[in-house]
Amino acid sequence: MSELSVTSHFWVANPPFSNFTLLVASEPQQEQDSSNRVATHLEVFDADGTKVNNVTVEFPAGTVGVIEVEPFTQALKEQGGIAHGHLAVSSPLGTRHVCRQTLGGCVGVLQDPAVTKGRETAFTPLIIGARREHLVVLVNATPEPSQVGIRLYYGNRAPEWSVDLPGNGSRIISLESELLKSSDDSSWEKGAVQAYLRIAPRLAGAVTCHLIERLPGESPEQESFRTLATW
């Protein structure tokens, strides 16, 4: 990445789980010149960090470019039952990257995720139990393998787990099915419990995170998803 560019690290997943549209807003030019164009570079990595696509898209300066990402993510493989990966987007300094993401029937506009680096932590509140399920999504923003600590605070408990991330890779972890089920406590299953989730990269790690909540329905078509936090 050049010092004169900005890079965003998004998590992307293929249909039917998700649809992803990237919005690229460049700074307006002082002189209107329709020939002046801004180049945005996209790199797509699968969950194991293997680069599966590499493309450059140009837009007139001062406009908002719209990129449907699905044509570039067909080679993503499944992990956690979902075809997903890491989208690195680089544009000239001053450009903003925003995404419009559809999860099930829920549509949300998400800002450029902030990168959490080693010795930094990120917190978010959530409710566990009461038939809710949560997916913790981690994206490695560096080409080096990393390890991330996940700690959940609820009641007088604070279990912690470590997750290995391949360089440029991503991971989906079910908070309830994969993490909490491995602990020796099931009190959270008895009702809605206020909790706090902490993400902490180890050493020189740098990650972006999503927390996705699933509310089961009477049928798969009636279940709903929403993004609780992106950081």
Largest CA distance in the chain: 65
Average pLDDT for 8-27: 93
Q: What is the pLDDT of residue 33?
A: 52
What is the identity of the amino acid at 201?
P
The percent of residues above 70 in pLDDT, for the chain, comes to 93
Backbone angles phi, psi at 176, to 5 degrees: -80, -50
As a whole number, mean pLDDT of residues 199-208 equals 90
Is the pLDDT at 222 greater than 70? The verdict is: no
Rounded to two decimals, the pTM is 0.89
Residues present in the chain in total = 231
3-state secondary structure of 60: strand
If you average pLDDT over every residue of the chain, what do you get? Answer: 88
Handedness of CA 187, 191, 196, 201 (dihedral sign): positive
Task: Give the SS3 label for residue 34.
Answer: coil
Q: Which residues contact 171 (CB under 8 A, 6 or more apart)?
A: 47, 79, 80, 137, 138, 163, 165
How many Cβ atoms are within 10 Å of 216's Cβ, its own excluded? Answer: 12
Query: In the prediction, which pLDDT does 34 show?
Result: 53
pLDDT of residue 187: 75
Amino acid 35: pLDDT: 61
- At 220, is the secondary structure helix, strand, or coil? helix
Contact 18, 102 (CB under 8 A): yes
Cα 228 to Cα 37, 136, 137, 212, 213, distances in angstroms: 35, 10, 12, 6, 7
Q: In the structure, what pLDDT confidence band is assigned to residue 200 with cuts at 50, 70 and 90?
A: very high
SS (H, E, C) 166-198: CCCCEEEEEHHHHHHHHCCCCHHHHCCEEEEEE
Average pLDDT for 18-34: 77
Structure tokens at 12: 């992307």
CA angle 213, 127, 15 (to 5 degrees): 0
Local structure of residue 77 (DSSP, 8 states): P
CB atoms < 10 A from the CB of 134, how many? Answer: 22
Positive or negative, the CA dihedral 205, 112, 175, 101 is: negative
38-80 confidence digits (pLDDT tens):
899 999 999 999 999 999 999 998 899 999 999 999 999 999 8
Apex CA 177: angle with CA 190 and CA 47, to 5°? 150
**Domains in the chain, please, with CATH?**
5-110 (2.60.290.11), 116-230 (2.60.290.11)
Residue 28's pLDDT band (boundaries 50, 70, 90)?
Answer: confident
